[in-house]
Structure 1
Amino acid sequence: MSAEVDLLLQEAKESIEAAQNYRSELQLRLHGLNQARKQVRGSSSQAREALKRHFSELQSSASRLLEERLSALLLEVDSIEAESIKPLDDCQALIEHGVGQADELLREGEAALRCGLGEKEDKLGSFTKKALHIQLDSLPEVPALVDVPCVSAQLDDSLLGALKERVSRHGAVSSYPPVQIEELQERPGGVLVRWCKVDEDFAAADFRLQCRRSGTGGSQYEDAYIGREQEFLVLHLDAHTDYQFRVSARGEGRTEWSPWSIPQTGSTTLAAHEWCPGTEGYVLSSRRNIALRNDSVSRCCVLYSRGPTYFCGQTLTFKISAVGALDHRDSLGVCVDDSRGEESLQRDQAVCISTNGAVFVNGKEMTNQLPALVLGAAVTFDMEMVSVQPGLHGDGASVAKLRVTIGSGNREVVFDWLVEHSLDALFFGCSFAHSGWKVLVF
């Protein structure tokens, strides 16, 4: 009987635990559902406000433009009227002056005819002289109506039709942005952002990626990338800090950008790659990720990383920002230690590429060769663990086989490299015999 009770108790406990887990999962899904509802409600509210604000601004602008155009046309009418009326007013004044003279002359003539015989001769003589002076046969010319401006307004009714057609196609509402962030991958001191189109009918010409620091004291979004690629490595990010990323697109032949994608939060736990300060012959940038070979020393020496910060599974990239003269001792690569006094990474326990494109493994040159390094060139190192083997000397130490891929330009070389398995991470380094070389690491 006791065994049956114990069994029932065990089953009850398991059922209670299952119910608790079930309730927790349902609560998580309910939280996710509430977040989804909040996104729909919030984005709809924002879309309404954006539409109202945009069309209100359009109405104000259109009203102002129409009023300005009406004022300009009325000013044209006023100007034409003033210019056309002035000669008519002048002609009218001349005619009215002539009418006044004729009235005065008529009064004098009638008076001369009525005067007595004693003064008639003088009056008639004076009247005749005055009549000859006025030139009664000379009349001012009055312009014909066809020669006088007839002001009219030409109004094209097609404007309203064209406006109606454009307004009917102006603006759009979509359920989803045409592009969305697909993946966020941490990199040393940065995050690799990949995005994709979710609207296949949207012909994207350019993409625009923005980034900002999350949380309290967060910054405004700032442009990180504008171009045709669908991925970008955002650098200079603080480790263990959340950042928000969003992306939009611009269609072929369009100037406006699409709505932003749903922001995604990402971060990196990997400290940024840095060159080691204090190495003679090299000047570093403030972030220590850029090294410039100067001419302070004549001998060639290796500049190492600040520590062993390169791990298998990562991609290490060197970008050439400036170039100098070539030398067979030049090298860019990865090594097990930061041995001082070396003049090149073309040595044991290191793999590297020279500026002329030659690849070296443990100091031996491979037959395969990559393109020579030029301004703007990027060299990538990728490594993955293949196997772990017993040591060759029977001392209990194991040896790891790493599959190394070095890429430059559109070519790459792949080979296996044996290193001590106890190593957790590797150094990287560079050496240049001549000044002028500048290299960025990330």
Structure 2
Amino acid sequence: MITMEALQECVGEKLPLDERGGRMSVEVDLLLQEAKESIEAAQNYRSELQQRLNGLNQARKQVRGSSGQAREALRRHFTELQAAAGRLLTERLATLLAEVDAIEADSVKPLDDCQSLIEHGVSQADELLKEGEAALRCGLGEKEDKLGSFTKKAMHIHLDSLPEVPALVDVPCVSAQLDDSLLGVLRDRVSRLGSVSAHPPVQIDELQERPGSVLARWCKVDEDFAAADYRLQFRRSGSGGGQFEDAYIGRDCEFLVLHLDPHTDYQFRVCARGEGRTEWSPWSIPQTGYTTLAPHEWCPGTEGYILSSRKNIALRSDSSQARYPILYSNAPTYFCGQTLTFKISAAGQVDRRDSVGVCVDSRKGAESLQRDQAVCISTNGAVFVNGKEMTNQLPAVTVGSAVTFDMEVVNLFPVSNNNLSEGGHFKLRVTIGSGNREVVFDWLVDQAVDCLFFGCSFVHSGWKVLVF
């Protein structure tokens, strides 16, 4: 490999000095510069190729690794299925054989009893025949006695009474009925058992950082797959990550995963469940996401409010504890371009001063967020901008309501006489959403700001609000 030192040694050899010495020196410098640039370009080119080789190796590893896992899953499933099917067939065979044994035993017993009775009669007849033959052969002096005894015995045996033997149609004829259609049904079901796909039906599409959270979005990559529900899981990356845990199950294709530590990598994966199915599809390829933004927190120590351990939930407590019922954020953590959400999880008595919103500062002494340098929505749905109520109104805020604030900078610096005539105001475009409605307006603030406070004001106790 050519190095810079070798190049400098090559071009740094002594050259003959003549009237063209100055020109030759310039040409050498140009060659040296071009050579340096070529070497740098070659190094960058090699580095890029090496990265692509690494990417190919990872792709090959994924293909081979996932193929091996798929093979193992198929073998394990079919082995377990074969064992279970064999066990079921063996159990069914034993049940049917037991039924045959029971029918045979119940049917043969009366036949055995009849046979014993007939055999006993045959034995008596044999004895009677012998005795009759003996009576016939005896002398005249004994014949009368012998024949008399024989006749009495024959009458006692009832030679005219024969036991009844059942006809063949009256005794069981055991048979086995087997349905050959089971094999056809089994063949059809087995032919549709399982499936193999090159890609999971859904994949993580985007991981967007939010304050103390990550917004995960996913999409279908198999258009033929009719998804009824999606399932999102996440875990902390690294050795201490542990097992994946459920974050969301539902029909939406996005979800905000809360309570994440900033500057920490998390892995996310998603799967789907088809219409009318109970089993979940294969998991998507895990994607790594993180947030660098500190979570939104309410300011601790504010009279009249109780905060959760993460300081993202505030409960308005005894209203007599605070003269000015405004609770601000711990810091100006809301940046333009983000979405700020207030979720109402409990409600108290309503007052016209009750509001949630954002503001430039966290000034003390105000009775409500319905003041200058603030935009907010009251619990009755009225929107206030710098303390003035707008004509547009949103749905009333109740338990379960989610109020969102989105802002973008219209201009950061006064660039026209019109702006200057407004006293150097700066304009932010605000979108407030509540329920299925939203309002959009421009908000004039006194100074250029890149971050804002958020706050809430409730006169009466019982209101509980989550911010994220």
The bucket for the TM-score relative to the shorter chain is over 0.9
On the 8 A contact 2:232/2:269 being kept in 1, the answer is yes
TM-score, with length taken from structure 1: 0.93
Q: State which of 139, 159, 175 in structure 1 corresponds to 2:162.
A: 139
Distance 1:325 1:296 in 2: 11
Q: Which residue of 1 is the match for residue 33 of structure 2?
A: 10
Structure 1 stretch displaced more, 73-82 or 279-288: 279-288
Aligned to 1:404: 430
Stretch of structure 1 that moved more, 383-392 or 269-278: 383-392
Distance 1:433 1:118, change over 3 A: farther
Match of 1:80 in 2: 103
Instruction: Confirm or deny that 1:427 pairs with 2:453.
Output: yes
Alignment check: 8 A CA contact 1:388 1:399 kept: no
From 358, 365, 369, the equivalent of 2:389 is 365
1:24 paired residue number: 47
Paired residue secondary structure (1:272) = coil
Do structure 1's residue 285 and structure 2's residue 303 form an aligned pair?
no
Q: Deviations over 1:261-290 (max 9, x none)?
A: 111100011122122233333332222222
Structure 1 residues 104 and 303, CA, compared in 2 at 3 Å: closer, same or farther?
Answer: farther
Per-residue deviation at 1:244?
0.7
Give the drift of 1:398: 5.5
Q: Name the counterpart of 1:42.
A: 65
Q: After superposition, what is the alpha-carbon deviation per residue over 1:348-392, rounded to whole angstroms, capped at 9, x for unaligned? A: 221111111111112211110000112222110011111124599
Match for 2:348 among 308, 317, 324? Answer: 324
Once the two structures are overlaid, the 10-residue window that deviates more, 41-50 or 300-309, is: 300-309
Superposed CA deviations along residues 149-186 of structure 1, whole A, max 9, x for unmatched, are: 11111122222222222222222211111111111100
1:301 counterpart = 2:298? no
Counterparts of 2:68 and 2:46, CA distance in 1: 32
In structure 1, distance between residues paired with 2:156 and 2:430: 119
2:81 matches 1:58: yes
The letter for the 2-side match of 1:408 is: S
Shift of 1:312: 0.9
In structure 2, what residue type is equivalent to 1:377?
Answer: S
Stretches of structure 2 that go unaligned for 5 or more consecutive residues are: 1-23
TM-score when normalising by structure 2: 0.88
Partner SS for 2:296: coil
Say which SS state the counterpart of residue 356 (structure 1) adopts: coil
3-state SS of paired residue (2:124): helix
Report how many residues are paired: 440
How far apart in 1 are the matches of 2:261 and 2:108? 78
CA deviation after TM superposition for structure 1 residue 317, in Å: 0.6
Amino acid at match of 1:210: Q
The structure-2 alpha-carbon separation of the partners of 1:100 and 1:289, relative to structure 1 and needing over 3 Å to count, comes to farther
For the pair shown, the structure with the greater C-alpha radius of gyration is 2
| Change beyond 3 A, Cα 1:9–1:149 | same
Shift of 1:117: 5.1
Q: Distance in 1 between matches of 2:62 and 2:197?
A: 14
Identity across matched positions, percent: 81
Q: How does 1:38-437 map to 2 (within 5 A)?
A: 38-116=61-139, 120-295=143-318, 297=320, 301-390=325-414, 399-421=425-447, 423-437=449-463
Deviation at residue 240 of structure 1 after TM alignment = 0.8
Q: Distance in 2 between matches of 1:297 and 1:176?
A: 60
Deviation per CA, 1:322-365: give whole Å up to 9, x if none.
22332211111112222334332111221111111111112211
Change (3 A) 1:152 1:14: same
CA pair 240-141 structure 1, distance change in 2 beyond 3 A: same
User: What corresponds to 2:20 in structure 1?
Assistant: none
Q: Which residue of 2 aligns with 1:439?
A: 465
Is the contact made by 1:334 and 1:428 (CA closer than 8 Å) also made in structure 2?
Answer: yes
What displacement does 1:408 show?
0.6
CA RMSD of aligned residues (A): 2.3
Cα distance in 1 for residues equivalent to 2:67 and 2:461: 59
Q: Which runs of 5+ in 1 are unaligned?
A: none
State how far apart, in whole Å, the 2-side matches of 1:2 and 1:371 are.
80
Whether the aligned pair in 1 keeps the contact of 2:419 and 2:425 (CA below 8 Å) is no
In 2, Cα distance between equivalents of 1:342 and 1:136: 126
C-alpha distance after superposition, 1:47-89 (max 9, x if no partner):
1111111111111111111111111111111111112112222
Letter in 2 for 1:36: A
Output the CA distance in 1 between the equivalents of 2:349 and 2:133: 119
Q: Which moved more, 1:134-143 or 1:81-90?
A: 134-143
8 Å contact kept, 2:319–2:460: no
Residue 298 of structure 1: how far off its partner (Å)? 7.0
How far apart, in 1, do the equivalents of 2:146 and 2:369 lie? Answer: 133
Q: Residue 240 of structure 1 aligns to which amino acid in structure 2?
A: H
Contact 2:430 2:442 in 1 (8 A): yes
SS at match of 1:297: helix
Quickly say closer, same or farther: Cα 1:349–1:92, change in 2 above 3 A: same
Aligned counterparts of 1:304 and 1:134: Cα–Cα separation in 2:
118
SS at match of 2:293: coil
Could you tell me whether the CA contact under 8 Å between 1:184 and 1:266 is conserved in 2? yes
What letter matches 1:367 in structure 2?
T
Partners of 1:388 and 1:398 within 8 A in 2 = no
Q: Which segment is superposed worse, 361-370 or 427-436?
A: 427-436
